[in-house]
Chains A and B, each alone.
Chain A
């Protein structure tokens, strides 16, 4: 799925499903964290990724603007907390992106056996 940040360059990312918006390292990790669960609290995700609140907020906004992520506000222990979850679009985009990465690694491995593919990854 192409995104607002996609450049459309002829890259190894010609593989179907490659998403430039998701491929940014922090956003890829955000999606990887949110994919297997229903939702994660903002502070928990921040601790998990070990990045600053502002950086996480920026990337969450980028993903939310693309319709990949939703935010839900809930009060717990008299404090308002933000819960983040991937939308169906975001989940399928992430899985497509992971499949595209596997394809890139796999095709490189086919041409040059020195490239060992990464295994045991949640595929689509």
Chain B
């Protein structure tokens, strides 16, 4: 048989009820201080606003770079290298290889998206223009320099393509690993 509950709930809950009516806003002061710290009810200073913007920027950067599996960068680098090589070939090979490489890159991107648990938007992804330049810029430079140098040096056309793919994969791996750090 249960004892009669004349005074309402036991001590801890009673304390919580005593705090709640004093303020209309959501208040966790009687229970969990850490949760109370998460609420912002007071004035917002410029420093706090600046810190909030920095936190948002950092989070966006983490979304853009972290979570990619290593095979994504390697496969994408290989695909880009193949596409670059096809573009350098002076015959109909380019027409045959470029669509295949493009389709392979799309499949790899979809598989990586599933593994990451992030579905990017078609038009604007998490990466900013600056991120894309940082990622693709070195590979593009290597590609251009390699193809220009191949006119003077006697090395196969595949060399700049392979170098560009390797640079792309390396850049992606490094930036992704850096963003994953806490």
**Interface residues in chain A, defined as those with a beta carbon under 8 Å from any beta carbon in chain B:** 4-5, 7, 9, 11-13, 18, 20, 23-29, 31-33, 35-41, 43-45, 47-50, 58-59, 76, 81, 83, 98, 101-102, 104-105, 107-109, 115-118, 120-122
Please tell me if B100 contacts chain A, counting CB pairs below 8 Å: no
Residues from 21 to 47 in B contacting A, C-beta threshold 8 Å: 25-26, 35, 38-47
Chain B residues with CB under 8 A of A48: 59, 62-63, 66-67
Closest to A118 in B: B53
Rounded to whole angstroms, the CA-CA distance of A116 and B171 in the bound complex is 31
Starting from the known contacts A25-B52, A47-B67, 8 additional A-B residue pairs (CB-CB under 8 Å) come to A12-B46, A27-B38, A29-B56, A32-B63, A36-B124, A40-B117, A40-B118, A104-B46
Q: Nearest Cβ distance between residue B55 and chain A, in whole angstroms?
A: 6
Rounded to whole angstroms, the CA-CA distance of A20 and B40 in the bound complex is 7
Rounded to whole angstroms, the CA-CA distance of A36 and B60 in the bound complex is 8
Please tell me if B50 contacts chain A, counting CB pairs below 8 Å: yes
Contacting residue for A24 out of B39, B66, B116, CB 8 A: B39
Rounded to whole angstroms, the CA-CA distance of A107 and B40 in the bound complex is 21
Write 17 A-B pairs (CB below 8 A) sorted by A numbering: A9-B41, A12-B44, A12-B45, A29-B55, A29-B59, A32-B56, A36-B63, A36-B126, A37-B120, A41-B118, A45-B117, A47-B67, A81-B117, A101-B53, A102-B49, A104-B49, A105-B50
Q: Is the CB of B25 within 8 A of A101?
A: no
Q: Top 8 A-B pairs ranked by shortest CB distance?
A: A44-B117, A108-B46, A41-B117, A32-B56, A11-B43, A118-B53, A104-B49, A32-B59
Q: Is the CB of B55 within 8 A of A28?
A: yes
Interface centre among B44, B49, B121 (most CB of A within 10 A): B49
Contacting residue for A36 out of B53, B66, B125, CB 8 A: B125
Residues from 61 to 90 in B contacting A, C-beta threshold 8 Å: 62-64, 66-67
Q: Is the CB of B52 within 8 A of A115?
A: no
Contacting residue for A20 out of B41, B56, B120, B125, CB 8 A: B41
Chain B residues with CB under 8 A of A37: 63, 118-121, 125-126
Chain A residues with CB under 8 A of B43: 9, 11-13
Closest to B119 in A: A38
Rounded to whole angstroms, the CA-CA distance of A120 and B61 in the bound complex is 11
Rounded to whole angstroms, the CA-CA distance of A118 and B50 in the bound complex is 6
Chain A residues with CB under 8 A of B26: 4-5
